[in-house]
Structure 1
Amino acid sequence: MKKYYFIALIFIFGMVGFTNAQVTGSVLDEEGTPLPGASIVIKGTTTGATTDFDGNFTIEASMGDILVVSYIGFETLQVTVNNTVMDIRLTSGLALSEVIIVGSRNPNRTATESTVPVDVIDMKELNNVAPQVNLNQILNYVAPSFTSNTQTISDGTDHIDPASLRGLGPDQVLVLINGKRRHTSSLINVNGTFGRGSVGTDLNAIPAAAIQRIEVLRDGAAAQYGSDAIAGVINIILNKSVNELTTTVTTGANFTKNANDQTGGVDGATTNISASYGIPLGDNGGFINLSGDFDVREDYSRMNEWEGTIFNLYNTVERVAGADGYDIANLLDDDVADVIQYTDQAGIDRNGATTKEDLRTILGADATTSELAARGQQRSDYNMRVGQSALRGGRLFANFSLPLDDIGTTLYSFAGISSRTGNSAGFYRLPNQSRTYTPAYMDGFLPEINSNIKDQSLSIGIKGMVGDWSVDLSNTYGKNSFLYTIGNTFNASMQNSSPTFFDAGGFSFLQNTSNLDITQFFADVMSGLNIAFGAEYRVENYDIVAGEEPSYAQYTANGQRITLASQQPSQDFFGNSRPGGSQVFPGFAPSNELSRGRSSVAGYFDVEADFSEAFLASFATRYENYSDFGGTINFKLAGRFKATDNLNIRAALNTGFRAPSLHQINFNSTSTIFDNEGNPQEVGTFANDSRAAKLLGIPQLKEETSQSISLGLTAKIPDANITVTVDGYFVKINDRVVYTGQFAGPGTGTELDNLLRQANATAASFFANAIDTESKGLDIVVTHKTDLGANWRLKSDLAGTLSKTKKVGDINASDVLRNAGLIDTYFPEDSRVYLEEAVPRTKINLSNSLTSDKFIIFLRNVYFGEVTEATTTLANQQVFGSKLVTDLSVGYKATDALTLTLGANNLFDIYPDRAKDEFGNRSDGRFDWSRRAQQFGIGGRFLFARLSFTLK
């Protein structure tokens, strides 16, 4: 097979090329200044060139060909080739319509002319003025349909932020880079956050400095791009600039009333250093651009003070015995003489108790107040870290293009690597808990999760002309790995022999995608006809790697690893079993270890016809076959009617699908889950095809399917330089994959009990196609640009989204689950809230940029709609009201090369509503703000300074 593949490859490459006349020229702005890096493309083809540092270009074209000339910030211009030397002047983009790549395979389609809504986000401007430096937060504040927030007390999700479009799942949006599929993260979200049970793409592995622009397609596109594109597509276009070195240093911190556990001051310091530089290659617009950044983000905490029990009287006895150098934890089961001695020595009234059972009743009483005084401590010494994890990392991306001849044959590639480490904390292990082995940690401990996240990607391809057809052949590789080390913790069942630092293992995900795309634009058919077809072959692999034995194992009092249900773990004085594994995050066991792969093959056909200047219609269909799920066919039908020169009406109808990820099919582990009251439980996640799943009647996983429709309009008011787009949508998704609730074992020695015991778990969760949902909403974008005179210009953007998702129909459960009365466990109430109400369903932003030769003033207000606490009890579902967050920055261009910017995110120090005691979600003071419904974060006011240096 490989032999024929390479023969076909050589054949395609060998056919690329034909001869035209050579056209040279320059691209200038209105004042005659050269525009380096401007794009010149022959309309209807991929044949193109890029201007050099002096704005000059050379391209092979025929007389009568139409050149499409574009440059960021300027109107795209179409000019007819009528000479071999052409000087082209572009007009400043006060009514900008940018050529887009996503959503249409016509290489000349603009955002306002497209049949579906596409937002085009200029990253150069945002990198100068926006307070945010990572991609998730940049998009969260600039694109209302996009949602992403930092999570807290959620294991790995503290380190990779889940993100979504239109309130759908993180795994229902497809990410592309330069039009090529990006691999997802290896992390699956299984803790208490929005996106629970899903796998997203780690956008923060991509440096903002490497990005020229971002195209956000807000419509289903599975028929065009394949699995995952139910909610839409995010296409990231990398930098192409050359002969320009840009370096930026941004530093800032939270200056807020609630900093440092609500005592005030400054915390959460962040520093980001980025650079970008491009080198021209050859004389035909070739280039290589290198961009990267390095950042350090400190943690912050917003907990005030732990209000619950910290010590019991047994801890008092331990302290008094410890002062005599005696460890009473080592006493024999029935030897209570020493406990009695030190109970009396501590002045505790035993009320005549002499047996262990009676002493347990006496010594279990609360002694927090007296012990804090005796130890010289405060309640705040037992705080958790509720807020933001600490991160440190670096990213480097390269973007490369090399024309091989004068007729558009181009070799291209882009690649990226990133590495970052994180540190977050879990629930404090208090001295009075069986999870704390007090001889080692007399005052308990705050366990820490340390992450090591690595990401690599490489795409390489060649494109050119085969006869009249444009051919693009490419291969894209990507891998993400996530490894855990757990620090300042303990395996309580090991007692004195436990380490305090554990290698807990981790996971990785690899994806390799090969694409062949063929297109041709027929200018003389109707008013233009674009035909595209192609094929894709994708390979995926998911691995889980085990940690060291103490990170996952549970031991008897004699130090023997427990492998049988009949073995008893070590116990504390009160008879509670000491849990095994590293506290906060038990490691992956050899029984969890696996390596699973699959492949898929796809073919598509896409036609886009301009029946007239007024009417455009497109149709796309795609067949995709997975080695583990079989085949699926999807389609998309879309149209646009130009009612007037300034008013377009557009609509789209499509079907889609999403194959369950390899993570959802194969992930299995045991983790410590805390309920809303802070009660811990060891929960095992079992694979969907496991024996435990069969015993409970969990249905076999299958693909999600969707149907969606959208209707919208775009309007221009040229005299006022205003552009308006309004789009409504409806999406029906069948068989959505969710993470179930926690199924407890009967406790009667059944097979399920034994499976749970072997996993060191007391309950089980699974991935299942539990529900159907419907989503509907309205997106509105209004853009205004005007010249105020005296070199001052104003750009204003108003964008908003109103959306609603709800579960519809019956829960998709087996008769086994229904007959056992387990439907509410299979799909519990908190899962419904995560899907429907845990992120803002209304989001509006108004951005204003006022610029001159020396200044840029940026003002943005973002309205975040209400959210609801995700709990299993209706009475605990507090609704947190809407809030308005203001960003402000002022940039001063000191010289042509140096710009200083000062500003703020959340200028007025706005916080979400506080959690109220009557809803029962504060967990005795741990969470003054919701842990499970992150509206816009709890960092408060963030002030920053940025120094930008540009050398041309």
Structure 2
Amino acid sequence: MTNLRPLFAVAASTLAIATAASAHAQAAPTPAAADATPAASEPSDIVVTGTRTSGRTRLGSVSPIDVLSATTLQRQGTTELAASLAAVVPSIDFPRSAAVDGTDSIRPATLRGLSPDQTLVLINGVRAHTSALLNTNGSVGRGSAAVDLNTIPSVALDRIEVLRDGAAAQYGSDAIAGVVNLRLREARTGGGATVTYGQTITDVTTARGQRSEHDGKTVTASGWQGIGLGSDGFLTVSAEYLNRGATSRGDFDPRKTPIRVRSRFGDPAVEQYTGFVNAAKPLGDSGWTLYGFGGYQHRDSVSAATPRINGGTDANASAAALASLYPDGFTPLIAVESNDLTATGGIRGELSGWKVDFNVSYGRNQLNFETRNSGNATYGAASKTSFYDGKLTYDQLVGGIDVSREQPLGQGTINIAWGLEYRREGFRIGAGEPASYNRAPGASSTLGGGAQGFPGFQPSNVISKHRDNVSGYLDLEAKPIDQLTIGAAVRGESYSDFGETATGKLSARYDFAPWIALRGAASTGFRAPSLQQQFFTSTSSVLNTGGAIVETGLFPSTSAVGLALGGKQLQAEKSRNLSAGIVLRSGGFDLSVDAYQIKLRDQIALSENLSGTVVAALLAPYNVSAGRFLLNGIRSTTKGIDIVAHYRKATPSAGTFDLTAAANFNDIKVTSFPGNTTITALVNGVSTSSTQALFTRQRIVSIEQGTPREKVVGTIDWSLAKLGLTARASYYGDVTQPSSGNGLAANDIHTGRHTIFDLEARYQVIRNLNVAVGANNLFDTYPDYVKVTSSVGTALNSTGLVGFPYYSPFGFNGRYVYGRIGLTW
């Protein structure tokens, strides 16, 4: 534990600074805090996530819950919801990957180091839909399809509740690591508007040199308005516009003179428009209320692929074939157009003493892909330079009814809740234009076919799949005496594709005194394999030495190619969760410490790419030369501790101090995984075998060490009259980006241990006008750069494509400075 001391030092020093400041308070009337956001936006202590009992508080809950206000999210430089969450919740990680195709634009977040799709996301308590994208490259979350948190703007939110406990028995599939519930703003009157401008101002030091960068210019304009519906209803409208420039943090490319940065390794350029509404209207005196909410986002995102160099020491054959179009080579750009829709309507009220809530929700995400500044090398000078590559579409229809009632139980009470849910999901792949995947007749076998950087989806990839799910649950929460709370939940699910499953949860809490309580839970969980995991396919055409065009790529595990390679029907992931914690509170101080263990089996992951002479011979009848597929068979154990300390102090003359120190210590071990597979086929009439790895060290290290094993965040929020200040220190433990294949540990790339400091100052110019200036990563801290060679002489950075590990949990953009103007009415 010696190496953990710096983590505690970050939190302790943060609290010590603030405590010392508060000690200078003098007796005087307490001034009002100033902020552009009305006090009404501060979160209530009442939570609805993890319990179906009304009136449960954050500190009174059976399971650990973080409650984050819209104000907390907005007092940062970033306007990305996922990045804002990761900055203040230590158990959430949001890596800023680069050079991993569509994942550059649709980035997943993780909770407690588990896969992004093992956290359930709700909007106002209703299941949100996932992105259509399956992460297929070497990023954190490889092989998953998760909810894109950045489709919901912070301006539309009142608060976020993060349940850090397994909850599949309560909410269904995906809630293995926990639940993130996004609560939309509810307002009949008032409104606000905010404009934020920022950019990176940074000095970049990579393995081959130094330079300064001023890029990533970002403009965000957002606003909301509350409208009364009659005398008792509300309609809240929120909107946001974002325009963000690309960043570039690659190393100097030594392959060609002059030596310069040729890659665009960094954040994509983004322009997006988002709108959300939230409404409710009581139906007279009937006791019933109609409600609805929904939103739409259009996002254009452009990231960069690997540069194609023409000439030099590492000339690219495709770049040479396109030299008439790009004499010095080119960097293909991958453009992703995301159109995301969610719409929910429902009615709630009371029937025969039971609270009833019925709702129907529809969500849809469509991704259209283009490759720009590129070419199809097999066509040479006649090639197009921009290509439509096809599209992915995922949609989800959910209908549910939730019923609950609290009634006496001896000297206490019991809350009985039950419900039913129907869900229909669809996943489709649409083909790109022929030039995005075709090969020109007679083209050289040394040239890659299709659009360079991102070949289009072929007609053989086109699919349209659907499935249905029906589930039911019973959730009991009893309080037989004031000090004791006992919970029990059971849920059954039936899927049309993989069958039935059942989960359960037991939880308890005992308050020994008003200032101390113990809590714990034991549960089982599951996550159904997504349609994206079952049916996503992407292939590229390759001309073999015999002149025939064959395909290689990712195939469904139950396709002809997948079955030939040993694929099987995917099964649901299963978990067993244990947690135990203590809650302490006294006056304005509270502390919670929660330990957890999550055992996973049948985890889903991508196999390695199986190739070679024997594989090509086996797959020859399918006109395929190599492939990979998704498989089950991984087991892991995750153990950790969450610590959250909070202290609020209002002083007469020094102002109000709100102090938080939070930490997550997380350890993941892969305990078993699929081994080698032996493939046998006739090669030139002779039975020949080839043994290949299905799952390598690279994948194991990604699971075990791809997210921080230690993360501590200390925050001071101070306000006095018209002034406000937020200071934050975030410590990140080392993250490992593994070497390829079964490489040596000496060839792994490490981010190192680093502390990031953020600072924001605010001033209320007049009653309704607020200005702020700040800096994220104030001291311009970077992860350790990627070295040219490892300690054993292996080349790690021969091309200069990457400058820093793309597993970095805090990115690699450096210092970001910003200003913000806020207006309320």
Alignment TM-score, normalising by the size of structure 2: 0.89
1:182-581 residue pairs with structure 2 within 5 A?
Answer: 182-258=128-204, 262-284=210-232, 286-308=233-255, 310=256, 372=257, 378-380=258-260, 383-406=262-285, 408-431=287-310, 432-436=315-319, 437=321, 438-523=323-408, 525-557=410-442, 570-571=443-444, 576-581=445-450
2:818 aligned with 1:944, yes or no?
A: yes
Q: Are the counterparts in 1 of residues 676 and 695 from structure 2 also a CA contact under 8 Å?
A: no
Q: How many residues align?
A: 763
Are residue 717 (structure 1) and residue 597 (structure 2) matched? Answer: no
CA distance in 2, matches of 1:516, 1:823: 52
State whether structure 2 residue 759 is matched by structure 1 residue 888: yes
1:107 deviation in Å?
1.6
Cα deviation 1:381-407 (Å, max 9, x = unaligned)? x61101111000011000001011235
- Per-residue CA deviation, residues 721-777 of structure 1 (Å, 9 max, x unaligned), is 1100000000011010001111114268624146464xxxx5311111031111110
- Distance in 2, Cα, partners of 1:428 & 1:193: 19
How far did residue 914 of structure 1 move?
1.3
Check the 8 A contact 1:699/1:814 in 2, yes or no: no
- Whole-Å separation in 2 of the counterparts to 1:820 and 1:537: 50
1:699 and 2:546 matched: no
Q: Does 1:619 align with 2:484?
A: no
* 8 Å CA contact 2:169, 2:490 repeated in 1: yes
Report the counterpart of residue 793 of structure 1 in structure 2. Answer: 656
1:212 partner SS: strand
For 2:158, the aligned partner's letter is Q
Matched, 1:166 2:112: yes
Match of 1:4 in 2: none
- RMSD (Å) for aligned C-alpha atoms: 2.3
Q: Which amino acid is 1:684 matched to?
A: G
Separation (CA, whole Å) in 2 of partners of 1:876 and 1:409: 63
Contact 1:890/1:902, CA 8 A, preserved across alignment: yes
Q: Cα–Cα, structure 1 residues 787 and 657, in superposed 2: closer, same or farther, change >3 Å?
A: same
Identity across matched positions, percent: 35
CA contact (8 A) 1:532 1:605 kept: yes
Amino acid at match of 1:207: P
Distance 1:289 1:141 in 2: 27
Following the alignment from structure 1 to structure 2, what is the Cα–Cα distance between the partners of residues 702 and 820? Answer: 31
Q: Deviations over 1:872-919 (max 9, x none)?
A: 212311333210000000000011110000000000000001122332
Q: Secondary structure at the match of 1:550?
A: helix
Q: Distance in 1 between matches of 2:85 and 2:367?
A: 24
Distance across 2 between alignment mates of 1:816 and 1:750: 10
Tell me, in whole angstroms, the C-alpha distance in 1 between the residues paired with 2:275 and 2:148: 15
Aligned positions of 1:132-171 closer than 5 A:
132-171=78-117
**Change beyond 3 A, Cα 1:691–1:126:** closer
Letter in 2 for 1:781: V
User: For the Cα contact (< 8 Å) 1:259–1:301, is it kept in 2?
Assistant: no
Q: CA deviation at 1:839?
A: 1.6
**Residue 733 of structure 1 aligns with which residue?**
600
Partner of 1:66: none
Contact 1:695 1:752 in 2 (8 A): yes
CA deviations 1:452-475 (Å, max 9, x no partner) are: 101001000000000100000000
Letter in 2 for 1:662: L
Q: 1:131 to 1:671 in 2, by over 3 A?
A: farther
- Distance (whole Å) between structure 1 residues aligned to residue 804 and residue 815 of structure 2: 16
Deviation at 1:241, TM superposition (A): 2.1
5+ residue gaps, structure 1, are 1-29, 34-52, 54-69, 77-97, 311-371, 373-377, 558-569, 674-680
Separation (CA, whole Å) in 2 of partners of 1:881 and 1:194: 17
Kindly indicate whether residue 680 of structure 2 is the aligned counterpart of residue 806 of structure 1.
no
1:476-505 per-position Cα deviation (integer Å, ceiling 9, x unaligned): 100001110111111111223221110100
Offset of residue 814 of structure 1: 6.8
1:383–1:428 Cα contact (<8 Å) kept: yes
Range that drifts further, 191-200 or 255-264: 255-264
Query: Does the CA-based 8 Å contact 2:677-2:693 persist in structure 1?
Result: no
The residue that corresponds to 1:83 in the other structure is none
| 4+ aligned runs moved over 3 Å, structure 1 | 70-74, 259-262, 523-526, 753-757, 812-817, 819-824
**In structure 1, distance between residues paired with 2:151 and 2:601:** 31
Deviations 1:173-219 (A, max 9, x none): 00000000000000110011000000111110101100000000000
Q: CA deviation at 1:506?
A: 1.4
From the superposition, tell whether residues 486 and 415 of structure 1 become closer, same or farther in structure 2 (CA, over 3 Å). same
Q: Per the alignment, do residues 841 and 671 of structure 1 end up closer, same or farther by CA in structure 2, a change over 3 Å counting?
A: farther
Q: Secondary structure at the match of 2:761?
A: strand
After superposition, what is the alpha-carbon deviation per residue over 1:128-183, rounded to whole angstroms, capped at 9, x for unaligned? x2122110110010111111122100100010111110000001000000000000
Task: Specify the alignment match of 1:335 in structure 2.
Answer: none
Q: Aligned equivalents of 2:497 and 2:819: distance in 1?
A: 51
State the distance in 2 between where 1:228 and 1:659 align: 7
SS of structure 1 residue aligned to 2:309: coil
CA contact (8 A) 2:41 2:71 kept: no
1:929 correspondence with 2:817: no
For structure 2, which runs of at least 5 residues remain unmatched after alignment? 1-28, 33-37, 543-549, 681-686
1:428/1:756 CA distance change after superposition, 3 Å: farther
Do structure 1's residue 777 and structure 2's residue 666 form an aligned pair?
no
CA contact (8 A) 2:433 2:456 kept: yes
Distance 1:165 1:601, change over 3 A: same
Separation in structure 2 between the aligned mates of residue 542 and residue 748 of structure 1, nearest angstrom: 29
Could you give the per-residue CA deviations for residues 313-364 of structure 1, whole angstroms, max 9, x where no partner exists? xxxxxxxxxxxxxxxxxxxxxxxxxxxxxxxxxxxxxxxxxxxxxxxxxxxx
> How far apart, CA to CA, are the structure 2 residues paired with 1:141 and 1:631?
38
1:722-871 equivalences under 5 Å are 722-746=589-613, 750-753=617-620, 755=622, 757=624, 763-790=626-653, 792-811=655-674, 825-871=693-739
CA shift for structure 1 position 266: 1.2
Moved more, 800-809 or 822-831: 822-831
Separation (CA, whole Å) in 1 of partners of 2:623 and 2:698 = 23
The answer to whether the 8 A contact 2:614-2:679 is kept is no
| Preserved CA contact (<8 Å) 1:240 1:287 | yes
**Matched-pair contact (CA < 8 Å) for 2:734–2:751:** yes
1:689 maps to 2:563: no
Q: CA deviation at 1:925?
A: 2.1
| Equivalent residue for 2:76, pick from 127, 130, 134 | 130
Compared with structure 1, are the counterparts of its residues 152 and 612 closer, same or farther at alpha carbon in structure 2 (3 Å cutoff)? same
For residue 715 of structure 2, what is the amino acid of its counterpart?
A: S
Structure 1 Cα separation of the partners of residues 690 and 642 of structure 2:
39
Higher relative contact order (CA 8 A, sep 6+): 2
8 Å CA contact retained: 1:272, 1:296: yes
Q: Which residue of 1 aligns with 2:683?
A: none
CA contact (8 A) 1:290 1:397 kept: yes
CA distance in 2, matches of 1:454, 1:655: 35
Residue number among 496, 510, 514 corresponding to 1:641 in the alignment: 510
What SS does structure 2 have at the residue aligned with 1:701?
A: coil
Displacement, 1:683?
5.0
